[in-house]
C-alpha cells in the first residue's frame, strides 16, 4: 500500500487560519494567563502536503452549524466510539515540538521565548550547595528514547512539581523533586541517580521515536489543552475516564476514611475516596469473599499489601448510564446491593425513568483473561495491570454478572473484531499491559548499547501500554496501530466510528501549561486538575491537519460520549448532583488555601468553558456530506511497518515529512553530558 506522506516542500499553509469561534474568557477556578485570554478554538497545522490537500479544510472556511444540528448529525453518523487509553506521558513529553500546537518552543502561531514559558528553566540546589539549571531537551534514537524509566508521579510529588503559588501552578518543581527524592538519601550513588532523573523529567521526544502517533496527529485532529482529571497517579485517572472523578462525591457523603476489614488473616484499612494513590481494586483482592465469578487479581508485579486495597467505589459512572432502560433489571442481579449500590440509590430509578436506549460497552485490557502469551489454556494474568482497570473498582460493575461480563482481555478485542462479534455500536476501551502480544522485543536504537544493558532492556521494557518503566514506546504505538487497523479495515465500522487516543496522566514529566486548580482533597493537596496529556481524535468525520485548543480533561471524553449516545450527564444524576451541591460549601473550603472555593467535588461532564467536549474535532462539512470523508488509508499503518522495529528505521520525521518546531526554528539541541534515560533500571550508566 502506498504510504501517505506530508511533503516538507509543500507550500506553507498559514498556521493562523482560525475558526471564527473562540475559547471564552475563564470565569471559574484559577486559570493560567493563557487560559484567561481569548484564544482561537481551532488552528490549522502548517505544511499541508499533497496527500492531505484534497481533504484539508481551513477551520475558518467551514460551514456554520448550530449545536443542535451538530449533535443531530453526530448521532446519525457515529455509532462506535473506541478509546485507546494509554499510560503516563505529558503533552510536552510526546508532542512538545509538534507543529502548530501550544508546545515547548511555540505558542501555536509563533516562537515563544524560554522566559515566557512557565517552568522552562528549572533549578535545584545540589548536595554541594551549587545551583543546577535544567531545561527541556530532545532525545531520540541515539539515546534509546523509546525505552525510558518512569519518573515521580506520586500525588505528593506531582503537587511539588506543579508548585501552586497564589492559586496558579508555576510548573517549576519538576527537576527539584526528582533530584531531592534520591539525593536526600545521601551517598554518591543516590546523588548520581537524582541528577539523572532531574534531567530525564525535562526530556522530550518527536516523530523519530513515535512516528505513528505523530502521523495520526497530523492526518486527523490533535487536542493540546486536555489535562489529567486528577493531580495523581494512574488509578484515580483510570477511574476518572469513566466517572469524571476519583471519588469526590463519595468523600463528600461519607468522609475520607476507608473501611477497616479483616478477612482470612488479612487485615487493614482500605484507601477511601477520593483515590489519590494506586491501590488495587477491592473486588479481586484478598478482602473479596466472592466465590463464583470472582474478579482476577493482577500479576506478581502488582502491590497487594493489606494497606494498598481501595474502598469499594459506589458513585455513578458511564457503565451505569450505559445501562439505560435496562438499569433496574441489571442492578437487580448485583450480589451485595447494600455494599455496592450505596450511592446510586436515587440514580437508578432516575436513569430507568429516562428510558434512554442502552449503550453496549466493553473494557478490553491485556491480561484480564487468557491472552496469547498464556500457555496451557489458562489465564495467568501475568500481563494484567489491575490498578489500571478503572471499571473493576466499582462494586456495581465488578459484582454484577451482567455488568462484569463487559470486562475482557486484549485478545478478545481482536477476536471480536475478526469474528464480527462486536455489538452493533457502543463504547469500547482498549488498554495494554506488562507485555506485548506480538512477541516483539524493545526497539533498541543506539548502536553502541552495551550487551548487559540490552539484556536489561529486553527483560524490563516489553510492555505495550506506553507506561515508562516497563514499556517500549514503539511497542505501545504498535499495539495502538493494530487496534486502529482492525477498526479501519472494517468498512462498516470505519464509516461510523470515532477513535480517541489519550492518556491517563503525565507520569510526572514536565509540561509547561499550568492546569486550572479546581479542587483540593482531604490531604489539602491540589486534587484537580493534573498535568496536560495528549489526545488525538481519529474519524472519517474528523478535521484533518488541525489542532483544537478547547480546554478539558477526561470529562471531555465523557461529554462527547454523552452527546453522541444521548446520555444524561453524570453531574445531573440525583445522587451526584446532591453531593456536588454539598461539596460546594464552607465545610469543604477548609481543605484549600485561604479564599479558595470548592465547586467541583465531583464529575464535570456538563459542557462549559471550564470543560468542553471533543466536538470541535469533527468537520461540519463532512458531517453534512459537503466534503469527502477521510479514507481509512489515512489511519492504517501497514502490518510490516508495525512489526519492523525501529519504526521507519528511526527516520520517522523524514518518512512522514513532519517538521518538529525546534527543527523549524533551527534550534540547537543540547543533551546533558552523560545523560542516562534509564537511571533506575540501568544504574551503571549514572
* DSSP string computed for 352-407: HHHTPPP--EEEEETTSS--TT--TTS---TT--GGG-GGGGBHHHHT-HHHHTTE
Report residues of the chain scoring pLDDT below 50: 1-37
Which is nearest to 162 in space by CA: 154, 153, 173, 151?
173
By 3-state DSSP, what share of the chain in percent is helix, strand and coil, each rounded to 5?
Answer: 30, 15, 55
| pLDDT on residue 270 | 95
Q: Residue 107 burial (CB < 10 Å; 0-12/13-18/19+)?
A: middle
| pLDDT on residue 39 | 63
Tell me how long the chain is.
Answer: 686
Alpha helix ranges (H) inside 184-290 = 188-200, 211-219, 234-243, 248-254
Question: Which residue has 439505560 as its cell numbers?
Answer: 324
Instruction: Enter the pTM of the model.
Output: 0.93
CA–CA distance, 200 with 150 (Å, rounded to integer): 9
CA–CA distance, 92 with 513 (Å, rounded to integer): 9
CA–CA distance, 394 with 408 (Å, rounded to integer): 16
Cell triple for 55: 481533504
Note whether 204 and 468 are within 8 A (CB). Answer: no
| pLDDT on residue 108 | 85
Residue 646, Cα to own-chain centre: how many angstroms?
24
Question: Which residue has 514529566 as its cell numbers?
Answer: 509
CA–CA distance, 528 with 517 (Å, rounded to integer): 6
pLDDT tens digits for 419-460?
Answer: 999 999 999 999 999 999 899 999 899 999 999 999 999 999
Q: Strands of 179-332 (E only): list them.
A: 203-204, 221-223, 260-263, 266-269
Residue 563 has a CB neighbour count (10 Å cut-off) of 21
CA angle 530-465-454, nearest 5°? Answer: 115
Domains delineated in the chain: 22-685 (3.40.720.10)
Question: Strands 407-408, 122-125: parallel, antiparallel or unpaired by DSSP?
Answer: unpaired
| pLDDT on residue 377 | 83
pLDDT tens digits for 179-197?
Answer: 999 999 999 999 999 999 9
Which is nearest to 464 in space by CA: 486, 484, 485, 442?
442
Note whether 165 and 85 are within 8 A (CB). Answer: no
Cell triple for 611: 470543560
Residue 606 has a CB neighbour count (10 Å cut-off) of 16
Buried b (16+ CB within 10 A) or exposed e, 471-497: bbbbbbbbbbbbbbbbbbebeebbbbb
CA angle 587-600-353, nearest 5°? Answer: 105
CA–CA distance, 679 with 151 (Å, rounded to integer): 10
Q: Which residues contact 332 (CB under 8 A, 6 or more apart)?
A: none
Note whether 175 and 201 are within 8 A (CB). Answer: yes
CA–CA distance, 165 with 610 (Å, rounded to integer): 21
Alpha helix ranges (H) inside 469-524 = 473-488, 491-494
Which is nearest to 236 in space by CA: 306, 154, 296, 343?
154
| pLDDT on residue 38 | 57
Amino acid at each position: 500500500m502506498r504510504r501517505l506522506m506530508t511533503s516538507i516542500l509543500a507550500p506553507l499553509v498559514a498556521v493562523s487560519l482560525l475558526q471564527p469561534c473562540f475559547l471564552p474568557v475563564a470565569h471559574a477556578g484559577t486559570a493560567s494567563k493563557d487560559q484567561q485570554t481569548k484564544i482561537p478554538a481551532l488552528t490549522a497545522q502548517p505544511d499541508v502536503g499533497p496527500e492531505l490537500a484534497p481533504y484539508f479544510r481551513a477551520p475558518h472556511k467551514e460551514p456554520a452549524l448550530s449545536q443542535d444540528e451538530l449533535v443531530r448529525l453526530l448521532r446519525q453518523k457515529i455509532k462506535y466510539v473506541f478509546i485507546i487509553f494509554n499510560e503516563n506521558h505529558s503533552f510536552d513529553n510526546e508532542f512538545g515540538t509538534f507543529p502548530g500546537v501550544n508546545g515547548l518552543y511555540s505558542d501555536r502561531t509563533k516562537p515563544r521565548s524560554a522566559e515566557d514559558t512557565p517552568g522552562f528553566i528549572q533549578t535545584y540546589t545540589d548536595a554541594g550547595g551549587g545551583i543546577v539549571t535544567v531545561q527541556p531537551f530532545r532525545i531520540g534514537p541515539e539515546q534509546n528514547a523509546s525505552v525510558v524509566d518512569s519518573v515521580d508521579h506520586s500525588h505528593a510529588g506531582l503537587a511539588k512539581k506543579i508548585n501552586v503559588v497564589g492559586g496558579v501552578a508555576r510548573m517549576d518543581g519538576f527537576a527539584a523533586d526528582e533530584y531531592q527524592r534520591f539525593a536526600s538519601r545521601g551517598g554518591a550513588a543516590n546523588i548520581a541517580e537524582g541528577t539523572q532523573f532531574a534531567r530525564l523529567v525535562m526530556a522530550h521526544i518527536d516523530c523519530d521515536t513515535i512516528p505513528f502517533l505523530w502521523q495520526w496527529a497530523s492526518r486527523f485532529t490533535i487536542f493540546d489543552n486536555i489535562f489529567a482529571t486528577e493531580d495523581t497517579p494512574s488509578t484515580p485517572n483510570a477511574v476518572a475516564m469513566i466517572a469524571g472523578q476519583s471519588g469526590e462525591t463519595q468523600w463528600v457523603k461519607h468522609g475520607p476514611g476507608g473501611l477497616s476489614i479483616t478477612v482470612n488473616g488479612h487485615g487493614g484499612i482500605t484507601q477511601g475516596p477520593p483515590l489519590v494513590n494506586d491501590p488495587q481494586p477491592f473486588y479481586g483482592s484478598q478482602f473479596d469473599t466472592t466465590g463464583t465469578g470472582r474478579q482476577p487479581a493482577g500479576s506478581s508485579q502488582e502491590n497487594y499489601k493489606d494497606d494498598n486495597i481501595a474502598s469499594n467505589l459506589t458513585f455513578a459512572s458511564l457503565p451505569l448510564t450505559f445501562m439505560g432502560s435496562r438499569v433496574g433489571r441489571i442492578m437487580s442481579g448485583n450480589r451485595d446491593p447494600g455494599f455496592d449500590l450505596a450511592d446510586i440509590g436515587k440514580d437508578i430509578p432516575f436513569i430507568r425513568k429516562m428510558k434512554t436506549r442502552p449503550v453496549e460497552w466493553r473494557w478490553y485490557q491485556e491480561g484480564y483473561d487468557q491472552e496469547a502469551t498464556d500457555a496451557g489454556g489458562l489465564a495467568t494474568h501475568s500481563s494484567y495491570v489491575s490498578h489500571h482497570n478503572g471499571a473493576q473498582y466499582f462494586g456495581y460493575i465488578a459484582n454484577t454478572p451482567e455488568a462484569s461480563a463487559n470486562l475482557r482481555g486484549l485478545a478478545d478485542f481482536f477476536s471480536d473484531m475478526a469474528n464480527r462479534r462486536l455489538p452493533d455500536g457502543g463504547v469500547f476501551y482498549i488498554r495494554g499491559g506488562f507485555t506485548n502480544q506480538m512477541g516483539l522485543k524493545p526497539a533498541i536504537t543506539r548502536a553502541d548499547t552495551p550487551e548487559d544493558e540490552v539484556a536489561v532492556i529486553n527483560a524490563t521494557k516489553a510492555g505495550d501500554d506506553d507506561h515508562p518503566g516497563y514499556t517500549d514506546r514503539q511497542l505501545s504505538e504498535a499495539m495502538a496501530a493494530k487496534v486502529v487497523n482492525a477498526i479501519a479495515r472494517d468498512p462498516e465500522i470505519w464509516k461510523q466510528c470515532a477513535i480517541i487516543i489519550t492518556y491517563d496522566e503525565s507520569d510526572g514529566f514536565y509540561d509547561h501549561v499550568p492546569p486550572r486548580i479546581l479542587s483540593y482533597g482531604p490531604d489539602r493537596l491540589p486534587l484537580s486538575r493534573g498535568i496536560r496529556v495528549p489526545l488525538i481524535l481519529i474519524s472519517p468525520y474528523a478535521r484533518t491537519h488541525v489542532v483544537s485548543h478547547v480546554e478539558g480533561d477526561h470529562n471531555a471524553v465523557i461529554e462527547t460520549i454523552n452527546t453522541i449516545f444521548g446520555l444524561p450527564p453524570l453531574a445531573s444524576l440525583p445522587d451526584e448532583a446532591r453531593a456536588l451541591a454539598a461539596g460546594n460549601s464552607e465545610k469543604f473550603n477548609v481543605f484549600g488555601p485561604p479564599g479558595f472555593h470548592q465547586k467541583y467535588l465531583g464529575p464535570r461532564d456538563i459542557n462549559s468553558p471550564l470543560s468542553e467536549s471533543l466536538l470541535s474535532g469533527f468537520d461540519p462539512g463532512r458531517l453534512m456530506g459537503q466534503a469527502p470523508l477521510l479514507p481509512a488509508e489515512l489511519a492504517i499503518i501497514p502490518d510490516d511497518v508495525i512489526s519492523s522495529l525501529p519504526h521507519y528505521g528511526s527516520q520517522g520525521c523524514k518518512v512522514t515529512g513532519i517538521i518538529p518546531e525546534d527543527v523549524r526554528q533551527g534550534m540547537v539541541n543540547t543533551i546533558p553530558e552523560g545523560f542516562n534515560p534509564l537511571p533506575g533500571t540501568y544504574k551503571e550508566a549514572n
